[in-house]
Structure 1
Amino acid sequence: MKQLSNEAKVGGLIVVTAVLAIVFAWIIGIQSPFKETIEFYVTYNFAGGIEVGSPVRVSGIKVGKVESIEFFISPSQTTIKEPGSAEDTRTGDRDVIPLRLKLSIRKDAAKGVKKDSRFYVNLAGIIGERYIEVTPGSKGTKHIQENETVAGVDPPRIDQLISQSFDLAGKIKEVIEQNKADFARSIELLFKLSENLNKTLNWVDKSPVFKTDASKLIENLIAITSDVRSMSAKARSPEGEKTLKLLYDLLYRLEPLDQRAIRNFFQKEGLKVHFF
Structure 2
Amino acid sequence: MEYSNELKVGVAIVVAVIAAVLGVRFFQDIPLFGDTYPMYATFEEAGGLVSGNPVRMKGVTIGTVDDVQLNQNTQKVRVRLRLQQDVRIPKGSHARVAGFSGLGGVNVSISPGPTDNAALPPKSTLSPPPEGTVFERLTEQAPALASKVDSVLTSANDATAALAQQFQSPKSDLRRTLESVQQITNDLETVTDAETETIRALLQNLRAVSSDLEAFMSGNRDSLDLAVRRLNRSLNRLNKSLASFEETTATLDTITTKLNRGRGTAGRLLNDPGLYVKLDSAAAQTNSLLRDFRQNPGRYLDDMSLVKVF
TM class, shorter-length: 0.3 to 0.5
Larger radius of gyration between Structure 1 and Structure 2: 2
Structure with the higher helix share, 1 or 2:
2
- Higher RCO (C-alpha 8 Å, min separation 6): 1
Q: TM-score, normalised by structure 1?
A: 0.42
